[in-house]
Amino acid sequence: MGYYDIDDILADAAKFPCRFNYAVPGLGYLEGNVGEEIKKNAKVELPLWLARILAIVGGDEEADPDSEGALPFVELLAPEILSSRVMNAIKSSPVALDVHSINAHFYALAVKWATLFDDRELVRVLNYMLLERTREIHNHAASGTLGGAPSTFMLTLDEFEKKLYRDTHSGCKETRHWIVRK
């Protein structure tokens, strides 16, 4: 993923639930209270690019004398796309899961979350999911045509998997042409 990658930009724009650790003047519009402060412990959804920064940057140590140090401005809460319900569905049958309906940029968001929190269990589950779904994607790419009617499985792919399908289909097609020319 790069700076100009549209899928990366769209993934960073996805909203994640956060809880503010401080009352912040002038940010009440995030809760619908224009001109007011956002209250401490207020839960709002922020784009990932902003939430990630606010979860790293610390607030004022003197603002909360009960704390042992500066807390970050917000605490990231687990998103619905990585809930235990979704993780259990992945573990039970990753090929049957409709990843696109969960989020069109599921893998990108899950990787960003796993990287941010060093979540090894999430990485393990994602690797298993990708391995199982990649087999199915390869089977469709090797036997199908790119412009034909999509199967039910093909409608469940997220953007990363769609790119993987296109690349695999192109590779299989070029290999067949190479073999025929030999």
Neighbour count for residue 68 (Cβ, 10 Å): 7
Give this prediction's pTM.
0.82
Average pLDDT of the chain, as a whole number: 88
Asked if pLDDT for residue 92 goes beyond 60, the answer is: yes
What pLDDT was estimated at residue 69? 66
Which residue spans within 33-159 are E strands per DSSP?
43-47, 74-76
**Residue 138 DSSP code:** H
CATH number of 80-181: 1.20.58.2050
Bridge partners (DSSP) of residue 19 are 43, 75
Distance of CA 90 to the CA centre of its chain: 14
**Residue 37 DSSP code:** P
What b/e readout covers 31-58, taking b as 16+ CB neighbours within 10 angstroms? Answer: eeeeeebbeeebebebebeebbebbeee
For range 134-147, the mean pLDDT:
83
Phi, psi angle pair for 124, to nearest 5°: -60, -45
pLDDT: which is higher, 105 or 65: 105
Q: Report how far apart, in Å, the C-alpha atoms of 70 and of each of 17, 51, 54, 61 are.
A: 21, 17, 12, 5
Three-state SS at 133 = helix
Closest CA to 137 of 180, 108, 172: 172
Architecture of the domain defined by 6-76: Up-down Bundle (1.20)
- Hey, what's the torsion of the CAs at 3, 7, 9, 14, to 10 degrees? -150
pLDDT: which is higher, 133 or 70: 133
Name the pLDDT band for 96 (thresholds 50, 70, 90).
very high
In this prediction, what percent of the chain has a pLDDT beyond 70?
89
Report pLDDT digits (tens) over 115-124.
998 999 999 9
Name the pLDDT band for 65 (thresholds 50, 70, 90).
low
For range 145-168, the mean pLDDT:
85
Three-state SS at 4 = coil
What pLDDT was estimated at residue 115? 92
In the chain, CATH 1.20.58.2050 covers 6-76, 80-181
| Angstrom distance (rounded) from CA 173 to CA 168 | 8
